[in-house]
Amino acid sequence: MRNVVLIGFMGTGKSEVGKLLAQRLGWTFIDTDRRVEVKERATIAQIFARRGEPYFREVESRVIADVAARRDTVIATGGGAVLRPENMMHLRRHGWIVSLIASADVLQQRLSDAKNRPLLKGDVRGHVSRLLDQRRPLYRDADLLIDVAQATPAKVVEAIITFLGKRERRVLAVRLDSRSYPIYVGDGILPLLPVDLAALKAGGKAALVSHRAVLRSAGSHLRTTLRAWGYDATTVEVPAGEQSKSLTVVSHLLTRLARERFDRSSTIIALGGGVIGDLAGFVAATYMRGIRLIQIPTTLLAMVDSSIGGKTGVNHTGVKNLIGAFYQPSVVVADVRLLGTLPDRELRSGLAEVIKTAVIGDTVLFEYLERHLSAILRRETEPLIEVIARCAAFKARVVESDEREQDERRILNYGHTIGHAVEAASGLGRLTHGEAISIGMALEANIAQRLGSVDPATVERQNGLLSRAGLPVAPRGVNRRALWRALALDKKRFDGVLRAPLLVGIGEVRREQKVPNALLQEVLRGASRARRLRAKPQPAR
């Protein structure tokens, strides 16, 4: 998010509001007047008396130029900082300008005993009126104006955070009547979550469920923010990896919630990738027959897919997501800043789901990926926000039309039908989920081509983008017999015949079609044969 810069006349409470706002956001607070005093080792009154106002303004400008570009900062400026255009230029470049205003009468009353205000010496009332008339147009040139005459600092802070929520987040929605919920996408937006909890009238208890590493980084900051808003936030650590998705871990989480006296007003916050989202979501669905769930995905894969739509579940008897429930979250927060520490392999894994979305229903997104893939791999903020928002919007539309995967939602299984089997056959954890889905997309596109559903050029275009993203398109190291056994257990089999979406063209697939077993075996044999040929040393030429 951009910084928040507080401007306004003396006595409007900029410092008090700024400190409280910074505390609520978990940000740094800087008072430029105090910075000037520290730099000069003198009070502002002493600087004015010894060096004069022009000197003070020069030092103030240097301080503002220094602090304006800092990240996650609330900056309270002196009342006269607006007088220099270069000050406001620096502050606007990286921040929202919030002006705290009040009438002359209110300010005169507040400043009646202003002994340490060098510009108000003598006739306080007259000086306030004169200076306010001079500066009022500059104070009104702001992104947000708040009259502080009757508002407490806490109310002012709430107004600013509400403003940030509207300006800093791209807002999408899954519309399911009484179970509708927003999806927020942005950069550094996680500190705004308490406002969303307040809007939901959530109870005071919240459990952050995640792995140790995440709890120590993003989890620690979020817990501090929640506690600053008065929430009783506790952390619940689970082991990292797919092995966490088990009934044993579910039992542990349910016991912990009961011991902590969580009730139906409490909230579970799933802070992590798809494993955490599936696991914490299933616990939220079953504890007391369902309590509030917030999804905060920390991987690209989870941001564009698993956190949206309400699918929850755990693995059982070696089958992925065999036990689960459809349970929608109350809010999804996709903060791209959380991707900053994501390993490259995990980022590329998430791109498999992004590319899948483009292939099945968004030609504009596919073309965007072809043009901006390098920027996305560099984790540039705007391209990441764009692709996450487009993917989230597409999935939201599909979920709205078919929440429980009876019809339209099955197109989302493209790449997953074979991909889940590839993941299981390779041994859970050897391939990432996205890598397995990429292989699944390539094999299912091959099937579609053999059935005459799609032309070879389209298949090549899809596979080319997957390869550019650093994703595999062949099941190297996957035992074909193990893969066939995994496919035999797939939930999408009907009467012993596998069904899978068939690719038609970029942006279009047919809903699940029957895939003859003979053709499926032929494609798998062909992939294995091609793998062996590539691995075989070629004779010297």
Q: In this predicted model, what pLDDT tens digit does every residue of 296-318 receive, in sequence order? A: 999 999 999 999 999 999 999 87
| Residue 142 to residues 5, 7, 138, Cα–Cα distance (Å) | 10, 9, 8
At residue 535, does pLDDT exceed 50?
no
Q: Is there a single domain that holds both residue 189 and residue 143?
A: no
Q: Is there a single domain that holds both residue 209 and residue 73?
A: no
The answer to whether position 106 is within a domain reads yes
d(CA 346, CA 379) in angstroms, rounded, equals: 12
Mean pLDDT of 200-212: 96
- What is the per-residue pLDDT for 403? 87
- What is the per-residue pLDDT for 494? 57
The answer to whether position 68 is within a domain reads yes
The answer to whether position 358 is within a domain reads no
Q: Is there a single domain that holds both residue 182 and residue 319?
A: yes
Mean pLDDT of 32-51: 95
Last residue of a domain, one of 311, 342, 373: 342
Catalytic pick among 205, 211, 292, 409: 409
Catalytic pick among 117, 410, 433, 492: 433
The answer to whether position 369 is within a domain reads no
Q: Is there a single domain that holds both residue 130 and residue 252?
A: no
Strands 292-297 and 311-316: unpaired
Last residue of a domain, one of 302, 318, 342: 342
Residue 340 — pLDDT band, cuts 50, 70, 90?
A: very high
What's the pLDDT tens digit per position in 123-151? Answer: 788 888 999 999 999 999 999 999 999 99
Tell me the percentage of the chain whose pLDDT exceeds 90.
77
Q: Is there a single domain that holds both residue 231 and residue 159?
A: no
The answer to whether position 376 is within a domain reads no
Nearest to 352 by CA among 333, 337, 373, 321: 373
In one-letter notation, the amino acid at residue 390 is: R
At residue 527, does pLDDT exceed 50?
yes
Question: Is residue 512 flagged as an active site residue?
Answer: no
**Domain count for the chain:** 3
Q: What is the CATH number of the domain that holds 78?
A: 3.40.50.300
Q: Is there a single domain that holds both residue 144 and residue 36?
A: yes
Question: Is residue 395 flagged as an active site residue?
Answer: yes
Q: Is there a single domain that holds both residue 130 and residue 190?
A: no
What's the pLDDT tens digit per position in 482-524? Answer: 888 878 766 555 556 788 889 999 999 988 788 888 888 888 8
Q: Is there a single domain that holds both residue 98 and residue 187?
A: no
Tell me the percentage of the chain whose pLDDT exceeds 70.
95
Q: Is there a single domain that holds both residue 161 and residue 174?
A: no
Catalytic pick among 3, 315, 413, 463: 413
What's the pLDDT tens digit per position in 63-80? Answer: 999 999 999 999 999 999
Mean pLDDT of 46-60: 95
Q: Is there a single domain that holds both residue 442 and residue 467?
A: yes
Q: Is there a single domain that holds both residue 154 and residue 35?
A: yes
pTM over 0.85: yes
- What is the per-residue pLDDT for 538? 39
Q: Is there a single domain that holds both residue 24 and residue 103?
A: yes
d(CA 229, CA 192) in angstroms, rounded, equals: 11
The answer to whether position 243 is within a domain reads yes
The answer to whether position 389 is within a domain reads no
The answer to whether position 370 is within a domain reads no
- What is the per-residue pLDDT for 430? 85
Q: What is the CATH number of the domain that holds 191?
A: 3.40.50.1970
Nearest to 521 by CA among 446, 458, 467: 446
Mean pLDDT of 368-381: 97
- What is the per-residue pLDDT for 39? 96
Question: Is residue 405 flagged as an active site residue?
Answer: yes
The per-residue pLDDT of the chain, averaged, comes to 91
Q: Residue 381 class from Cβ within 10 Å (0-12 exposed, 13-18 middle, 19+ buried)?
A: middle
Question: Is residue 39 flagged as an active site residue?
Answer: no
Catalytic pick among 289, 371, 481, 536: 289
d(CA 273, CA 241) in angstroms, rounded, equals: 10
The range of the structural domain enclosing residue 204 comes to 170-342
d(CA 296, CA 226) in angstroms, rounded, equals: 14
261 three-state secondary structure? coil
| Residue 386 to residues 182, 183, 244, 381, 504, Cα–Cα distance (Å) | 17, 14, 31, 9, 25
